[in-house]
Structure 1
Amino acid sequence: MDTFYYVELMGISVEGFRMVEVLAADLQLDLAIGKEGVIVDSGTSVTQLVRPAYAMPGDAFKVGAMELRAASGGFSLFDMCYNIIEKMGVKVPTMVMHLDSRVSMPLLAENYLIPMDTKGTFYFAFVGTGGGMSIIDNI
């Protein structure tokens, strides 16, 4: 669609390990039908990836965040929430988005761990979606 800003997301790395299971094919724009692909949307506050592209980085993040105390999520949309209010200098898994063969975008923890409340609950701001389009959010 002409109103969307499409990017080529080639993959995601968690803790320096590129998720080879995140296939570029799962994220490609289908030019024949003008659907799917990856867009950047300044009006969306959660990164949404088609389920095949979300599964491996999501699982890798869970493993890397095992030392954090899981919190019950206040929103059904998020499958990973953590209570980190009592933690000082919290170490969370690093994440990088690979936008094409030449560009990698390291993410700050503030880009993917978003405060849910004032009690120290944060949610992992990536979700899997059943739709064909993936969205990189504004945070």
Structure 2
Amino acid sequence: MPILQNSKMDMFYYVELMGISIGGSRVPKVSAGNLRLDSVIEKGGVIVDSRTSVMRLVRLAYTALWDAFKAGVAELRAAPSGFSLFDTCYNIIGKMEVKVPTVVMHLGSGASMPLSTENYLISMDTKGTFYFAFVGTDSGNTQQ
């Protein structure tokens, strides 16, 4: 997987994210065009940040991803968010089994990286509330 350069932000490692699939289907607006590092203004792109458990996506891509994920978990009951960062959370208390759609990241090298459920549903309390680990941003910088 090639590492991309951004001369204005040379402390970060960038990768080319071509898209994300939810439940086996590519999310149309989560595409290379919406996630690309713009070499002219040197914004956007996808940085690898091992210190964060949240992936920030530009708003258009995030909204499409969120809609696709939400459709795949229609059986789950939404819960009020206790953290301002997250707008999507689910309460699974009392459920013996929970089915959620798979999430796969497609990289520029042609590789696909399936995420484990723990990578995109974060438990933040002991009450059975899980948060969707993707959030939207208007800054143009995305990270995982």
Tell me the distance in 1 between the aligned counterparts of 2:79 and 2:70.
Answer: 13
TM-score of the two chains, using structure 1 as the length reference: 0.92
Give 1:134's aligned amino acid.
Answer: T
Aligned to 1:128: 136
User: Paired residue for 1:10?
Assistant: 18
- State the Cα deviation string for residues 71-91 of structure 1 (Å, max 9, x = none): 111012211111112111211
Please report the TM-score for the alignment, with normalisation by the length of structure 2: 0.89
5 Å matches for 1:57-68?
A: 57-68=65-76
The amino acid that maps onto 1:64 is: G
Q: 2:58 matched to 1:50?
A: yes
Give 5+ residue unaligned stretches, structure 1: none
- Aligned Cα root-mean-square deviation (Å): 1.1
> How far, CA to CA, are the matches of 1:125 and 1:22 in structure 2?
16
1:93 aligns with 2:120: no
Asked if structure 1 preserves the Cα contact closer than 8 Å seen for 2:53 and 2:119, the reply is: no
What is the CA distance between 1:101 and its match in structure 2? 4.8
Larger deviation, residues 10-19 vs 84-93:
84-93
Q: Percent identity?
A: 68
Total equivalences in the alignment: 136
